A and B are shown apart, each in its own frame.
Chain A
Amino acid sequence: MQVTSSVRQPLVTGGKTYHDVTHDVARQVEGKPSVGWLLAFLTAAGVLALGSIALIATLWEGIGMWGLNKTIGWAWDITNFVWWVGIGHAGTLISAVLLLFRQKWRTSINRAAEAMTIFAVICAAMFPVIHMGRPWLGAYWALPLPNTFGSLWVNFNSPLLWDVFAISTYFSVSLVFWYIGLIPDFATIRDRATGLRKVIYGALSFGWDGAAKTWMRYESVSLILAGLATPLVLSVHTIVSFDFATSVIPGWHTTIFPPYFVAGAIFSGFAMVLTLMIITRKVFKLEDYITIGHIELMNIVIIITGSIVGIAYITEFFIAWYSGVEAEQYAFINRATGPYWWAYWSMMTCNVISPQLFWFKKIRTSIVATFLLSLVVNIGMWFERFVIIVTSLHRDYLPSSWAMFYPTWADVGVYLFTFGLFFTLFFLFAKFFPVINMAEVKSVLKSSSEKVAK
């Protein structure tokens, strides 16, 4: 028996019935694309086309097109990689961790958040591949194959190789998790459709019939996948942070990196989910499903993770001083007051100060404020990675090698390319796939809709 609480806010507003849920979500897929969607899609595709010029130039000429020099061998590429992977953490966190904690509010946002995860990981994975220089000669170098098919193997002591395993496992498990959830909803669209659409969605729905036995197995699979994905999502950014933490560069060689990176990833991921969901609910008129209550809960996660990140920044600084290691101390003083002070203070302002505004109920329940702050958080998180990577590298051990990093148009263009790719994929998803998990929303409807509960 469901119990309707008089204290809790309903998860779905507007007194929806089961059929309303089906109708509201499926009509986006079935209707003609709206003008708003077309404009958004074409803009994203335009950015993609524009960015691909830079990508082609980089592949054609080599990574000399980027602003890297012999002191700063990693800059925007790895910054963008870590940034995108971080964004790609929210989806699995929402669907897996919140499922384990029985947080029912996840049901309206998990589908889009997981889609975002998958697209963000695709964007992230592009950077290491492009950075190989000539990936077509052997992107397989990263796989556990004998080197150039001789007898020397990949190095399992290297965190960069762990990253290959972590990112590819994360991508494929997230994809499977997302698709399993999509199957019942594709069946819903199949059963409403005729003609070609019925054939396509029929194939996509894998012959789903909604039998109690299948649902029982589906629930069991979801729970186990959530249980597997929870440590997985934590492991991925932990391993990304190992890329830095296991080296001996001042500012990187710290044990705080894994938890600090994971918190930062959740922080930026939730911000990106908010950015996308605020647009999606508006364009697709889904305000009854993605309510102010959802936005407020996500903002609370942002305060928590933002505060963890803030404490991590301060701890890092303190430990650098307390360690008594001159190189460490210098690295941090240089971050705050050296030639990249503006990047450091942008990071501090965007990530530590701005999310604290969400303590005010007025701000965390305001859509405009949330939207703007979600952008600020992601700008801040980009600067965080830039600060960690570039400021640690630009002061070499030999002062004669000290350098600055200046991005070229190709650096900017390749970053733009991933933006175009991300939004093009997201808009395609939003049009052709059900953006809200209909089956799961229906399963929580009884406790939140008066018409159904009656």
Chain B
Amino acid sequence: MERDTHFILGVYEDEDVLLHAVEQVRSSGVKIHEVFSPYPVHGLEHVLGYKRSRLPIAAFLFGLLGTSLALTMQFYMMKFDWPMIIGGKDFAAVPDFIPVTFEMTVLLAAFGMVGVFMISSNLKPWAQPRIFDVRITDDKHVMAIDIANNNAMEVDKIKEILKSSGASEVNNKSFE
């Protein structure tokens, strides 16, 4: 069977039931493709075993880039390229450079991090997402299980596990 096309979906009503269900399903040896929720469920990433997002690191590095760009720009313009005495201050009046440096740090950190987020999560206006169930943006949590990824187990067995973990519905879903 082809990967990433045929899925079994477990539909859950409640976030706490979902959290236990994820633990239960994983411990019974079923590999979960992904869980879809209408809102962020705290602790879901832990029970799914996802590694912590590295986006804060990206933000820090972009921030660092902003700081150094801002300082380089100001030193170059004010001290080296066209030095001028303004109010009797030093050409490189460092305290005066701090506000712009701070703003550029924030600007680059924010935009850089959001850019990385967009790319890593494939968020773009022309993206065509695969909707497993339209209710996942309304009031249902959906656990998707890739059949091809769980070859060792019977489909009915997986459905049984989902049912016993508290799923209110168990459906099939195939994409072309």
Interface residues of A (CB under 8 A from B): 1-2, 17-19, 22, 144, 151-157, 159, 161-162, 165-166, 169, 172-173, 176-177, 180, 183-184, 187-188, 190-192, 203-204, 206-221, 224-225, 228-229, 231-232, 235, 239, 242, 438-440, 442-443, 446
Q: List 13 A-B contacts (CB under 8 A).
A: A154-B77, A156-B77, A157-B89, A162-B100, A184-B38, A203-B126, A207-B129, A208-B123, A212-B36, A213-B50, A229-B106, A242-B99, A443-B42
Task: Give CA–CA (A154, B96) in the complex, Å.
Answer: 13
Residue interface mask B51-71, A partner, CB < 8 A = 1 = 001011001000000000000
Please, what's the 1-or-0 string for B99-134, where 1 marks a CB less than 8 Å from any CB in chain A?
Answer: 110111011011101100110111111111111101
Q: Which residues of A contact B38 (CB under 8 A)?
A: 18, 22, 184, 188, 210, 438-439, 442
Give the nearest-CB partner of B142 in chain A. A210
Nearest opposing residue in chain B for A184, CB measure? B137
Q: Which 6 A-B pairs have CB atoms at the shortest separation, nearest pair first?
A: A207-B127, A18-B139, A206-B123, A153-B77, A162-B99, A442-B39
User: Are A206's CB and B125's CB within 8 A?
Assistant: yes
B39 to chain A, nearest CB (A): 4
Report the separation of the CA atoms of residues A211 and B122 in the bound assembly, to the nearest whole angstrom. 12
Q: Are B87 and A19 in contact (CB under 8 A)?
A: no
Complex contacts, B120 vs chain A, CB 8 Å:
217
By the criterion CB–CB under 8 Å, are B34 and A217 in contact? no
Shortest beta-carbon distance from B64 to chain A in Å: 13
Residue of B nearest to A147 (CB): B82
CB–CB A166/B99 < 8 A: yes
User: How far apart are A185's CB and chain B's nearest CB, in angstroms?
Assistant: 9
Contacting residues, chain B, for A228 (C-beta < 8 A): 59, 106, 109-110
The answer, yes or no, to whether B2 is at the interface (CB within 8 Å) is no
Is the pair B103, A166 in contact by a Cβ cutoff of 8 Å? yes
Query: Which chain A residues border B123 with CB–CB below 8 Å?
Result: 183, 206-208, 214
Chain B nearest CB from A111 CB (Å) reads 14
Q: Give B14 Cβ to nearest chain A Cβ, in Å.
A: 8
Contact B81 A151 (CB under 8 A): yes
Query: How far, in angstroms, from A155 to B83 measured CA to CA in the complex?
Result: 11
**B136 CB-CB contact with A under 8 Å:** yes
Question: Known interface pairs A161-B100, A208-B129, A213-B50. Does A221 touch B122 (Cβ–Cβ under 8 Å)?
Answer: no
Q: Chain A residues near B34 (CB, 8 Å)?
A: 211-213
**Chain B interface (Cβ < 8 Å from any Cβ of A):** 15-16, 34-42, 44-45, 48, 50, 53, 55-56, 59, 73-74, 77-78, 81-82, 84, 86-87, 89, 93, 96-97, 99-100, 102-104, 106-107, 109-111, 113-114, 117-118, 120-132, 134-139
- Known A-B contacts A162-B100, A165-B100, A212-B48; the reply to A219 vs B40 at CB < 8 A is yes
Bound Cα distance A343, B157 (Å): 78
Tell me the bound Cα distance from A184 to B128 in angstroms. 15
Q: Measured between alpha carbons, how far is A129 from B148 in the docked complex, in Å?
A: 61
Q: Is the CB of B127 within 8 A of A206?
A: yes
Cross-chain contact A172 with B111 (CB below 8 angstroms): yes
Contacts of A215 in B (CB 8 A): 37, 39-41, 44-45
Asked if A188 contacts B104 (CB within 8 A), the reply is no
- Bound together, the chains give a CA A166 to CA B41 distance in angstroms of 35
- Which residue on B lies nearest to A445, using beta carbons? B39
B122 — nearest CB in chain A belongs to which residue? A207
**Contact present for B53 and A217 (CB under 8 Å):** yes
- Distance of A185 Cα from B121 Cα, bound (Å): 16
Q: A165-B100, A439-B40 are in contact. Are A204 and B125 (CB under 8 A)?
A: yes
A226 to B69 CA separation, bound complex (whole angstroms): 23
Measured in the bound complex, the distance between the Cα atoms of B137 and A209 in whole Å is: 8
Min Cβ gap B31→A in Å is: 14
* Chain A residues with CB under 8 A of B125: 203-204, 206-207
Give min CB distance, B167 to chain A, whole Å: 16
User: How far is the CB of B69 from the nearest CB of chain A, in Å?
Assistant: 11
Chain B: which residue is nearest A213 at the CB level?
B50
B45 CB to nearest chain A CB (Å) = 4
Chain B residues within an 8 Å CB radius of A177: 110
Given A207-B123, A212-B35, A212-B44, output 5 extra A-B contacts at Cβ < 8 Å: A155-B86, A206-B124, A225-B113, A235-B102, A443-B42
CB-based contact A191/B45 at 8 Å? no
Whether A19 touches B86, Cβ cut-off 8 Å, given contacts A165-B99, A216-B45, A217-B55, is no
The minimal Cβ–Cβ distance linking A204 to chain B, given in whole angstroms, is 7
Instruction: Using A1-B16, A156-B74, A235-B99 as known contacts, say yes or no to A212 and B45 having CB atoms under 8 A apart.
Output: yes
Contact A165 B45 (CB under 8 A): no
Which residue in chain A gives the minimum CB-CB distance to B37? A210
Contact among A173, A225, A446 with B15 in the assembled complex (CB-CB below 8 Å)? A446
**A229 neighbours in B (Cβ, 8 Å):** 106, 110
How far is B136's CA from A184's CA once the two chains are assembled, in angstroms? Answer: 11
User: Across the interface, do B40 and A209 meet the contact criterion of CB distance under 8 Å?
Assistant: no
